[in-house]
Amino acid sequence: MAAVASQKEKLVIIAMKGHTCTGKTRIANVLAQKFECRVIDLDDVYDCFSDHMIIQQQQQQQQRQLQQQIVQCLDRSFESVCRIAVKQLELIPVSKNKTTIIDSLLLLQSHMERLLVISKSIGARLVIVECRAREKYEWEQRFIRAQKRGTSSSTSYCSYKPSTWKDIQLETTRLGKYEYDTSEDVSKLVVDTTKHFKDSRLCYAVELLCKYKMNLSMDLQAGAGDSYQVVHKLTLSNDENDGGSGSSSSSSSRVVVSCRACLKSISSGPSYNCSHCDLSLHKLCAELPDKKQLLPHQNPPFVDPNSHKFIFPETHRCKFHPEGFDSTCHDCAFESNLRCALVPTVVYLECHQHPLFFCMISTRNLGHNSHFQCHACGNVGGEAFYACQAPNCGLILHVNCALLPPTREDIHHRHHLSLTPPPLPPPHDDDDDDDDSDEYYCNSCEETRNPRHWIYYCEKCEFASHLYCDGFSPS
């Protein structure tokens, strides 16, 4: 149903992954404080099982049997941890944050597969936080310090963890980087714990992975870790009576959701729902049929033309900033745009067969890797864009280009011109680069134009004009 959400979607399991002394436990504790949940440590469970192994080892005195018992003990310990996690989520009240954290190496694919089965059985969102130590010297020094404190491994000689730095190197070589398939239902954050990072940045990235339903893979140090953004993929539902008015058995496990733009409940009528997160919008609130079209070189209404920072008539915070609106957060900006109804979230163009979805970019990342090239005008953009998510399409447009009028008049032509994308990439002959026969011109200004860019076009007269040519006159 379009306007309801299952309680199961709120369950989250965060699983740590990585070698000994890569900082998993510290990060797990940081996340536990942020999410107000508990950490289930594999070592605590393993120590209970290994006490029984010591008695058996005194009787057997065979190293090979000891190794087999260690593997069996590790498997049983991980199974116990998974069951504890499930029970913990069941006991957490609905009003609380239903999240739990598992602190283990998670280096065996069999353990990952078991975790997938457990999470799917209860409908939980599974997020992997993988800790890597890319600076080997710093990692080795960290291991030596842990040995001196007596915290690098279990006090039992039956420990499954490497006892020396050489053992860690051998284990790394033997098992590689542990890049096994984590399934399409799992998101992962990779953290280089030998590099400096802010805990708030870490928590923000994990919150994004917990929020979105789609599979995401992030590296905290690969870019601006606090400026990730995801284009909402909205699907339209035409259900007319959809607000949890079904049977009492179904209504007990489902709740009516509200439109994030107008804050009114979505009880009937068409609505949009995001397949990546919990965003829901009335059809009218998403499409804004009375929206104002933008003229060439006109800044979007939410961008300051001088500072290029977000500006809104009124600001609204996102779920990641309960303390208030953050002017550099793309989620806060997206939320403010929804509430202020400045530009539509979904756009349909007469010249494109798929809907376009709105996305805002964090100003923290402007000037770095957030820039994109608009497929309509060919210029570089930032701040925000409209994107098509249809397979094999990948269309990205400036807000201005997406909101251009479908037709316009031109002072150099008597007919109306229609907004027109190029039908196909023009032919290109690498052996004939000096041939002028492939040059394309704008009939308004008589300057050359790029045939891969969109134009305003009169099909009857074959009159083509730049999108932003000086002859522009709105119809």
Closest CA to 461 of 445, 474, 448, 444: 444
CA distance 36 to 99: 8
How high is the pLDDT of residue 474?
52
Q: How many residues are there in the chain?
A: 475
Largest CA distance in the chain: 100
In whole angstroms, what is the distance from residue 128 CA to residue 17 CA? 7
Copy the structure tokens of residue 445: 């200004």
Q: How far is CA 411 from CA 243, 406, 407, 419, 464, in A?
A: 52, 17, 14, 16, 13
Residue 372 pLDDT: 78
Q: What is the pLDDT of residue 157?
A: 43
Burial 237-268 (b: 16+ CB within 10 A, else e): beeeebbbeeeeeeeeebebbebbbeeeebbe
CA gap 304, 400 in Å, rounded: 14
Residue 306 has a CB neighbour count (10 Å cut-off) of: 7
**Is the model's pTM score more than 0.85?**
no
Residue whose pair of structure tokens reads 């109804």 in the numeric block: 341
Please work out, in degrees rounded to the nearest 5, the angle formed at the alpha carbon of residue 104 by the alpha carbons of 117 and 71. Answer: 80
Sort strands 12-17 and 125-132 into parallel, antiparallel or unpaired.
parallel
Q: How far apart are CA 398 and CA 281, in angstroms?
A: 23
Q: What's the CA gap between 17 and 186, in Å, rounded?
A: 13
Could you report the average pLDDT of every consecutive run of 10 residues in the chain (475 residues)? 42 92 93 92 82 52 65 88 92 82 90 91 91 88 83 52 80 57 74 87 84 74 50 76 41 68 88 84 90 72 78 84 76 89 91 88 49 84 83 86 87 86 57 55 86 89 84 54
